[in-house]
Amino acid sequence: MKIPSLFLFLVLIIASSCLKNNQNPVPSIPFDITIDINLPSYYQLQGVGSWTYVNGGSRGIIVYRRTIDEFVAFDRHSPMDPNGTCFLPLFPEQDNFLQLKDTCSSAQYSLYDGGPISGSQFGLRQYATQFNGSNLLRIYN
């Protein structure tokens, strides 16, 4: 009798923690785009450690090139502004481009992994990326 109760309790705890991890307040906007990083509008992504803006998501997307074959993409919509009332979305700091700043709440986020640095309990909404190893980068959710 105690074993099924314990099992049910563990299942509820695990399910509860999974729900908490998925409660990012930034709306999930379905999209699927492919960009050619050889085009002049995306030339910034030619080098490792570079970044650029791309249209899509809720308030635009910022793409960062971590390695030769690895890119990350985050929505520029701040988790501290779930209704999107702040006019200026997230942008890189002048002194440290690996930190994104929310101009309305002063929250800061890591461009490397989207995690909160200060002022927010939520990280940035991340989108999936797929690179063909040559010139095409797919960004989607």
Any idea what the CATH number is for the domain that residue 24 is in? 2.102.10.10
Q: What is the structure's pLDDT at 91? A: 84
How far lies 115's CA from each of 29, 35, 111, 122, 123, in Å?
A: 20, 25, 8, 7, 4
Per-residue pLDDT at 95: 86
pLDDT the model gives residue 3? 56
**Overall pTM > 0.85:** no
State the pLDDT at residue 18: 43
Structure tokens at 131: 């690179």
Report the alpha-carbon distance of residue 15 to residue 33 in Å, rounded: 32
**Would you state the pLDDT for residue 22?**
55
Encoded tokens for 76: 């520029």
Taking the C-alpha atoms of residue 121 and residue 119, their distance in angstroms, rounded to an integer, is 7
Lowest-confidence region among 19-23, 49-53, 72-76, 137-141 = 19-23
What rounded mean pLDDT belongs to the chain? Answer: 87
Please determine, for residue 4, whether its predicted confidence score (pLDDT) is greater than 70: no
Structural domain boundaries, residue 57: 2-140
Confidence of residue 133 (pLDDT cuts 50, 70, 90): very high
49 falls in which pLDDT band (50, 70, 90)?
Answer: very high
Number of domains forming the structure of the chain: 1
17-36 per-position pLDDT tens digit: 443 445 899 999 999 999 99
Hey, which residues does 75 pair with through a beta bridge? 61
Write down the pLDDT at residue 108: 95
